[in-house]
Amino acid sequence: MLKNDLLLRAAKGLEVERAPVWLMRQAGRVLPEYRATRSKAKNFVEFVKTPELAAEVTVQPVTILGVDAAIIFSDILVIPEAMGLPYEMIEAKGPRFPNTINSKTDIDKLKIAEAGDLDYVMQALKLTKRELNNSVPLIGFCGAPWTILAYMVEGSGSKTFSKAKQFLYTQPELAHQLLEKITLSSINYLKGQVAAGADLLQIFDSWAGVLSEKMFYEFSLKYISQICDALSPLVPVTVFAKDAHDGIEKIAQTTCSSIGLDWTIDPLTARKQAENKTLQGNADPCLLYADEKTIIAQTQTMLKTFGKQKYICNLGHGLYPDIDKEKVKLFVDVVKGYGW
């Protein structure tokens, strides 16, 4: 039994004494302790593949920041790699794929990943679970099929992902074939994560916002929905589709338990659009650049607006590496000390 199961109760819509808090990218460069552990690995990809190091940085924010959940340290790009498309992480630039997907032949060559292809993540989950010693829940995750396709076709990050979108517009059937393969791989992967100890899963659709509403439903939400159907019977699933604006109402029709919101979404509007779901979010990470008084006031306003029940406190996207660790801690403390 978990000593602190606030996150799981909130996700399931059960009563809580206060809202749980965790932060996207809590295991990251904001913590000097993360940077110290990271320097022990040759590069980012090797770091992710070393279960002892991954488990170490997964536990760090629980101990140092006092958050109510751990999220396994890994990356969404391990799925393309397990399917046969390796990635690199270029310092200060981001991900890069030496080979990209352009044709039917490329797609046919990809395999449907099994949990066993990602054994290093399973080992990291098991180790972390042991180290957490039932203190807080452990979150597993994957990228949404559209966001994964976007990297596989584009070959790197992009402001517009126009190459990936070109693929959707010019070769929609191939795009669906690829999305299907990614979806099946992600389902296998997430089932493995649950078997290895993940208590809740989050699907990150970081690039939902570059799609039109119609294309979001056709090329993204359809597959997110399939993943939710496969995993929701096992553990609660959170869908975070960044910049999906008008998509909240449709996301609420999937079998997910909670919906992650970015900071452009009005909490009360989202409540009306997703009455049946728990909401997660949605402070602007840049709020943590502000002075302490502003951070306290704006965080408290957010908590009051969302309310105590069916709410998971988080940011609207990941922490930026240059945010002051003390400000992050302040944010967490404000949530935990709020007059719930």
Applying CB under 6 A, the span of 22-30, 256-264, 280-288, 326-334 interacting with ligand CP3 comes to 22-30
Least spacing, CB of residue 108 vs ligand CP3, in Å: 26
Strand partners, 94: 90
Neighbours of 123 (CB within 10 A): 17
Least spacing, CB of residue 114 vs ligand CP3, in Å: 21
Residue 27 touches ligand CP3, criterion: CB under 6 A = yes
Per annotation, catalytic residue among 38, 117, 189, 223: 38
Q: What would the DSSP string read from start to end of 229-266?
A: HHHTTTS-EEEEETT-GGGHHHHTTSS-SEEE--TTS-
Contact 201, 187 (CB under 8 A): no
Residue nearest to ligand CP3 (CB): 206
- Is 291 known to be catalytic? no
Residue 78-117 contact track with ligand CP3, rule CB under 6 A, x = bound: -----------x----xx----------------------
- Is 29 known to be catalytic? yes
Applying CB under 6 A, the span of 18-26, 105-113, 193-201, 270-278 interacting with ligand CP3 comes to 18-26
d(CA 196, CA 43): 25
Contact 124, 74 (CB under 8 A): yes
Structure tokens at 245: 């604006």
Contact 102, 164 (CB under 8 A): no
Per annotation, catalytic residue among 5, 9, 25, 189: 25
Residue 189 touches ligand CP3, criterion: CB under 6 A = no
- With CB under 6 A as the contact rule, the residue among 20, 28, 155, 236 that binds ligand CP3 is 28
Residue 204 touches ligand CP3, criterion: CB under 6 A = yes
Query: Measured between alpha carbons, how far is residue 266 from residues 51, 53, 237, 241, 305 in Å?
Result: 39, 38, 22, 15, 10
Applying CB under 6 A, the span of 70-78, 101-109, 175-183, 283-291 interacting with ligand CP3 comes to 70-78
Residue 45 touches ligand CP3, criterion: CB under 6 A = no
Looking at residue 68, its amino acid is: D
Least spacing, CB of residue 102 vs ligand CP3, in Å: 21
| Element holding 48 (H helix, E strand) | helix 44-48
Identity of the residue, 38 or 277, whose beta carbon is nearer to ligand CP3 in the bound complex: 38
By CB neighbour count within 10 A (0-12 exposed, 13-18 middle, 19+ buried), where does 246 fall?
exposed
Least spacing, CB of residue 117 vs ligand CP3, in Å: 18
Per annotation, catalytic residue among 34, 87, 151, 223: 151
Identity of the residue, 76 or 295, whose beta carbon is nearer to ligand CP3 in the bound complex: 76
d(CA 337, CA 331): 10
- With CB under 6 A as the contact rule, the residue among 55, 67, 77, 118 that binds ligand CP3 is 77
By CB neighbour count within 10 A (0-12 exposed, 13-18 middle, 19+ buried), where does 23 fall?
buried
Least spacing, CB of residue 202 vs ligand CP3, in Å: 7
- Is 75 known to be catalytic? yes
Looking at residue 270, its amino acid is: A
| Residues annotated catalytic, as ranges | 25, 29, 38, 75, 151
Give me the residues that bind ligand CP3 (CB under 6 A), please: 24-29, 38, 44, 71, 73, 75-77, 89, 94-95, 141, 157, 204, 206, 318
